[in-house]
Amino acid sequence: MLSIDGTRRRGVSSVLLTGRPRPLAACARWVPPPIRPAGLACQGGEAAARRLEVGLRGLSSLGLIESGSLSNDDRLVVVHPMIADSNRAHLVHPQADDPEPGRVRQAAVALLQRRIRALEVARPADWPRYRLLTPHVQALMGEAAAGLDQEHLVSLVDVAGWLAAAHDWMGVPFTAEELTDAALAVGARLDADHPALLDVRGLAAHQAGLQGRWGEAEAAYREVLKARQRVQGDDHHSTLATRHELGRAMARQERCGEAEAAYRELLKAKQRVLGDDHPSTLATGNELIRSVANQGRWREAEAAFPALLEARRRVLGADHPETLTTRHELAIAVANQGRWEEAEAAFREILEARRPVLGADHPDTLTTRHNLASAVANQGRWGEAEAAFREILEARRRVQGDDNPDTLATRHSLARAMARQERWGEAEAAFREVLETRRRVLGADHPATLSTSGWIDECVRRQRSNPPGDE
């Protein structure tokens, strides 16, 4: 409190509480434009910008905020937790001389929406900014959201959904789920068919699918699609996006023929509405070829991927995450034709490209590492593959959780590597642990579950035919 008293003696507190302060009043971390009057121009005009500048300098002189640079375009202010907590408390329980809290909340939401909507969820260069803005949004999703009017409530749901989608792209599923759940709770005040709420419901379906609950995801997508067609029309870009995700849900449930037909229809619609080279059109093209591949038509898929890869390189760039996805799908098509050495080389190249773009622990990077280890294993280098699978498993458990289908796939592959080295008892125990979880997460009849069950039978048979101690 001595520091707060010092700011009052200098007249700083009254400066900070005028002119609709920026999210400083609501959030623990704040990313404003450059800290100078021109960059801080706000609804109070230049005079308010100057007062805010004086207030920030006063807090800085007392060690209550720190200023730094995020990039050439951004200046960063880190606010002392005491200031952040105090300001949040004033928002929820305002004092007589505080600014009207509703106006502060509205200003914070408007600024965050403008800032977040200027970023791209699929652009890795923007991901550090999304991370810095996340605490701001989280601070507004609780009691502070209760007093928002309809317009700003819609904006807050939009902001939270946009940020959740960014965390999905960043490979941070737990934060994405937290933001989605919070947005659904806050958005409960909206009409069930409001487009902003439909966006969030679609995100929730996507996250259910990532956890292996694709039947649940499909049902949710069908509900969202009906609402979008009714509210936004058949050709709206959001309606087309929901059809895309619905096709993915079909494909992940091994209904690849049905998914292929759905994607072919959707591709024609996107080409007509969006054009051949729109990133969304190219995304559907990728899933269409993938659905062909997953029906065992690997040669056909391998022949189709290069044209799509060239289009994505031209439109998105060589290092864009979706371009790298197409390269990865092409390598999978090669691997599934038994060309393991060629596939290994391709996966190594993709891994070197994905690491600097996505990060070493991104789920897509880990998928490439997993497939690289599988290519190594299928060339008989089981010890090398086992060591790789152990490292991947540790990362997947940390990033994606124990029950994630990708984590279970790596656990299964690790057990398989043990079995191929004739450590049948150790492999059996590992497979049984995987089986128990796969039954719970994926269901008893899922192909992955049945595969694990089959390996248990093989391990048991091998131990019976050659029990320990036999020559």
Average model confidence (pLDDT) across the chain:
87
Q: How far apart are CA 29 and CA 130, in angstroms?
A: 12
Q: How far apart are CA 272 and CA 344, in angstroms?
A: 38
The pLDDT value recorded for residue 77 is: 67
* Higher-pLDDT residue of 444, 34: 444
Q: Is the pLDDT of residue 321 over 60?
A: yes
Closest CA to 19 of 47, 39, 38: 47
User: Is the Cβ–Cβ distance between 60 and 15 less than 8 Å?
Assistant: no
User: Is the Cβ–Cβ distance between 62 and 55 less than 8 Å?
Assistant: no
Model confidence at 70, pLDDT cuts 50, 70, 90, reads low
Q: Edge-to-edge, what's the strand order for the sheet holding 65-69?
A: 29-30, 75-79, 65-69
Q: How far apart are CA 381 and CA 388, in angstroms?
A: 11
The pLDDT value recorded for residue 108 is: 86
SS3 34: coil
Q: Is the pLDDT of residue 81 over 80?
A: no
User: Comparing 49-53, 228-232, 396-400, 420-424, which segment has the lowest mean pLDDT?
Assistant: 49-53
Residue 444: partners with Cβ closer than 8 Å, 6 or more residues away: none
Q: Average pLDDT, stretch 306-318?
A: 98
AA identity, residue 399: V
Q: Where are the domains of the chain?
A: 365-471
Q: Is the pLDDT of residue 445 over 80?
A: yes
CATH T-level topology, domain 365-471: 1.25.40
User: Is the Cβ–Cβ distance between 136 and 164 less than 8 Å?
Assistant: no
User: Is the Cβ–Cβ distance between 127 and 63 less than 8 Å?
Assistant: no
Percent of all residues in the chain with a pLDDT value above 90, rounded to a whole number: 72
H-helix or E-strand spanning residue 78: strand 75-79
- State pTM to two decimals: 0.83
The pLDDT value recorded for residue 40 is: 35
Q: How far apart are CA 323 and CA 314, in angstroms?
A: 10
Q: Average pLDDT, stretch 30-45?
A: 40
User: Comparing 37-51, 195-209, 220-234, which segment has the lowest mean pLDDT?
Assistant: 37-51
∠ CA 163-284-308, nearest 5°, is 110
